Amino acid sequence: MFHRRLVLLVVSACGLTGVLIVQTVHLTVAKGAQLRRRAERVLVRHELIETHRGSVFDRHQRLLAFDRPSYDIKVRFDVLTGRWAYRRARKAAARRADRLEWRRADLRRRLELTDQQQEQFDRQVRELWQTLCQLTGTRPDELESRRAAIVRRVHRYRLAHWKTRLRRWTGQEGEGAPRLKDVSHHAVREQHQSHIVIEDVDERARFAIQRMIAAPESDDVWGAVEIEFVTRRDRPWSTVEVAIDHGSLPSPLRRDEVATLTVEDVGRHVIGRMRPRLLKRQWEARPHQRRLETGEIVHDLGGYRIDDPIGATGIERSMEAQLRGRRGQATIYRDGRPSTRIDPVPGGDVVTTVDIALQARIQTMMDPGDPNAGRAGAGLMRAWPWHRRDGMRRGKPLPHVVIDGQPLCGAAVVLEIASGEVLAAVSTPWDRPDSIEDATDAAVAWDRINDPWRNRVVAKPYPPGSTMKPLILASAYTLGVISLGQQLDCAPGYLYPEAPTRYRCWIYNKADRPHDPMGGAWAIMQSCNMFFYRVGKLMGPERVGTWLGRFGLGAVRDAGMAEQVATHGARGTSERDAVLMAIGQGPVEWTVLQAADAYATLARGGAYRPPTFVQGRTIETTEDRDIRLDPRGVDIVLEGMRLAASDRRGTASRLRIEPGRPEPTFNLPGVEIFAKSGTAQAPDLQVSLAEGQPRETVRQGDHGWMICMAGRPGSSRPQYVIVVVVEFGGSGGYVAGPIANQVLHALRHEGYL
């Protein structure tokens, strides 16, 4: 008996020991790493040390964008709507009434009891607004306007949410089909959030408001107030006042005065904007914290948290890696080990090639203004009768031609030829007019038609029109397709006998007879279509496409702007494609920056300099992009462009606004100007004006171009190239020419010419 008990005890002890051994192995081997990490999370604390984003400067070291600490005041949405006061009054009424009385009371009686308590809470809300106004210096009417705007915006979000849910059920019909009341109880996130009512308060106001929130009795309405620390990205040159001499404008807009105009969002598309938090795909690309397959959590101090700001457009986006910097980290050990620290690395500064004063001056001239909001513009980016918009195409009227007085869209760029640096780049419109309220159907339609967020300088392809002709001529001379002194006939006034109404010379159309044979310079001066039809036919589609590709069409040459898009360039395959591409129509397109780059290459005689918005960038390439143009051919092309700008017969030289009273397109003295205008047949603009609606045509007509190169008097080569395009504006000489002229005046004012 004794031995059996002893054996049982030994077996039990061995079994228990085995269990302990197995559990020990399990905890130390199988789960050892996991438990170690869990223990370290308790014993080790990591604290992030924030960095700051780098600043952006213009070419003259003027500050364009920088980080600044700031504080915003946020109030819960139910306070803004009055629901907070009602709910508090209802609770107070229920507490004051006998429980049985409240439960037996009908709706009318409960409302009476609630109304008796409502005034004290309404008074709290009124005192809250008064105190915030006094502490921050905000006008009461301004604060009320912000409050009302927030409420309207959230209610519109909620209505849009309801409509979206209803659209998901559009296939249901009959008695079971959902109605608006079926989804009207659904709330949106914004109804449960706090909203900014006052931005950028000073330290004195912040401390005073913080004391009100933290006061012992602040279980009242101040409990619904928050102070949010934010890093504000300031742009000192965002709003600029510019003095404009109206005496150099076309006669219908000319006034003998110097007016001061205010332009907002200067350089918006170039400098760019910040997104307050990351998109999911951006966060997944480089998260601050990620878990390995082993379960270990690793931290990347250069990575992103989901609520980090990130560059969304322009320089802020393209130079994000340089501007961002890297967080630091302090590691604190609770087991007695000394703490360690990794210092943060501040973001690097970026110096752009842009002259912000020049940018502001050009942007002022291209601001259409907003008469409905009382804001005047120079008038150059509005449609006028003298713009010569052709309302016909192939003998049929165009129903969607822009009407007189309507704002126009377009872009302009100024490039320094020797360096390839972009001095200014304007895309208009750059914002929605103040007279159009946010989040309305009108705002949605306006945005889709005018596309203000797109940088038209680098992100929108256009048909070149006649501005393609100088490049074609320089290519033909270099190829030897035509000799330097060769003249080409216009007769019989059209290219193909089987199509006498197409591929015709526009000069022939006006005079009703063929003009005399022309050489290259005169063909550029008068923009003779027949001359270039014949040149395109001689070159053929393959050589036209190859040489336009050498000028940069179809390529994305990294200029430091993330929004740059690839164009299809010149992709014709037939003889008639080559004929059309030679005059800038048919299967050929480019962006405004590509146009400036191509003309700068022409002015250098074929030497390539990559265009750039950022100083000090090195673009590595093994491609030989020097296209080695025939220098004598380039001289002929430049002479033709000089005549186009100065000779009375040149297409870029005169504005014939009033019969018998021509006025010069360019009126800046002491400057050598080489110009080429273009009027390009454009595809119809088709957009969907609202969610779920089919696309419809909203704009028709021609894009107007003016490309001019300018140099100081006596210079054999120009120093700057200016490209202007106006969408659906009409004749390039009449709509884009006056804008290019004002760009020349701006260059003179800023000391470049």
Contact 580, 531 (CB under 8 A): no
Contact 329, 299 (CB under 8 A): yes
Q: Is 112 exposed, middle or buried (0-12, 13-18, 19+ CB in 10 A)?
A: exposed
Q: Is 110 exposed, middle or buried (0-12, 13-18, 19+ CB in 10 A)?
A: middle
Of residues 318, 278, 245, the one with CA closest to residue 612: 318
Q: Indicate the DSSP class of residue 341.
A: E
Q: Residue written as tokens 């408001």?
A: 209
Q: Burial code of 512-540, b = ≥16 C-beta within 10 A, e = fewer?
A: eebbeebbbbbbbbbbbbbbbbbbbbbbb
Q: Indicate the DSSP class of residue 358.
A: H
- How, if at all, do strands 350-351 and 56-57 pair? parallel
Alpha-carbon separation of residue 489 from 475, 493, 578, 663 (angstroms): 20, 9, 18, 31
Contact 592, 409 (CB under 8 A): no
Q: Is 485 exposed, middle or buried (0-12, 13-18, 19+ CB in 10 A)?
A: exposed
Termini Cα distance of the chain: 118
What is the C-alpha to C-alpha distance for residues 519 and 530, in angstroms, rounded to an integer? 12
CA 393 centroid distance within chain: 33
| Phi/psi at 498 (5° precision) | -75, -10
Report pLDDT for 622.
46
User: Phi/psi zone of residue 534: left (φ > 0), alpha (ψ -120 to 50 degrees), beta?
Assistant: alpha
What is the C-alpha to C-alpha distance for residues 130 and 143, in angstroms, rounded to an integer? 10
H or E stretch covering 187: none
Tell me the CB-side half-sphere exposure of residue 255, using CA atoms within 13 A. Answer: 9
Of residues 561, 624, 563, 552, the one with CA closest to residue 588: 552
Report pLDDT for 291.
77
Report pLDDT for 337.
82
- How, if at all, do strands 340-342 and 328-333 pair? antiparallel
User: Phi/psi zone of residue 737: left (φ > 0), alpha (ψ -120 to 50 degrees), beta?
Assistant: alpha
Q: Block means of pLDDT (10 residues each) for the chain, length 753 residues? A: 73 79 68 63 78 95 94 91 85 75 75 79 89 92 91 84 67 53 65 88 90 73 88 93 93 90 94 88 85 75 87 95 93 82 94 98 93 81 88 75 92 97 96 77 88 95 97 97 91 72 67 78 94 94 94 88 88 90 95 97 94 84 75 97 95 91 94 96 91 89 97 84 97 96 97 92
Q: Which domains does the chain have, with CATH numbers?
A: 73-166+180-225 (no CATH), 356-745 (3.40.710.10)
- How, if at all, do strands 392-393 and 350-351 pair? unpaired
Alpha-carbon separation of residue 335 from 40, 41, 340, 466, 659 (angstroms): 10, 12, 13, 77, 93
- By three-state DSSP, how is residue 526 classified? helix
Q: Residue written as tokens 């020419």?
A: 737
What is the C-alpha to C-alpha distance for residues 198 and 631, in angstroms, rounded to an integer? 63
